Amino acid sequence: MCSQRNAIRDDRGQAFVELALVLPIFILLLVGAAEVGRIAFAAIEVSNAARAGVSYGAQNHATASDSSGIETAATQDGPDLTDLKAVATQACTCSSGTAITCANAGTNCLAPNRIIEYVQVQTSAVVGTVFKFPGIPSSITLRGYAMMRVEQ
C-alpha cells in the first residue's frame, strides 16, 4: 500500500514538465495561425479592391475612361490597407478579335465588327507581419487583378 502512494507522488510533476515542453510549440502555432489569418484577410481586401475599381469603370464608356475615378474607387474599398495602390488601364478589341488602341478604335474597327472595351485594374499593397520569425520575410507584397467588359 505504501509503495503505491510513493508511485503516485512521483508522477505529480510530470504533467507540468510536459506542459512546459509543449506550451512554446503550441503558442508558436497559435501566433502563426493568427499571422496567416491576417495576411489572408489582407489578400482578400486587395482582390476586392480591384473588383470594386473595375465595377465602377465598367458602368459605361465615360466611367471607363475615368482612370482617376477607377483608382479612387479601388483604394476606397480597402480602408484597412494603408498603402493600397491601384492602376487602371483600358483595352479595346474588335469583335473580330483584332487588338486595337482605344484612342483610334473607330477608324481601325471596320463594319460589321464592333468595338469591345475592357477595363483592367491592378492593385497592390505591402503588408507587414506583426511577429518577426527567423527565415520568414517581415513584409509581403499582395497583388490583385480584375478585368471587366464595359457595358455597351
Residues 56-86: tens digit of each pLDDT: 999 988 898 899 999 999 999 988 898 999 9
Number of domains in the chain: 1
- Residue span of the structural domain in which 20 resides: 2-149
User: Taking 60 as the threshold, does the pLDDT of residue 2 lie above it?
Assistant: no
DSSP 81: -
- Helix/strand number for the chain, H first, E second: 5, 4
DSSP 106: H
What is d(CA 38, CA 147) in angstroms, rounded to the nearest whole number?
26
Predicted confidence (pLDDT) per residue in 96-115, tens digit = 877 787 776 556 777 788 88
Global pTM reads 0.79
DSSP 78: -
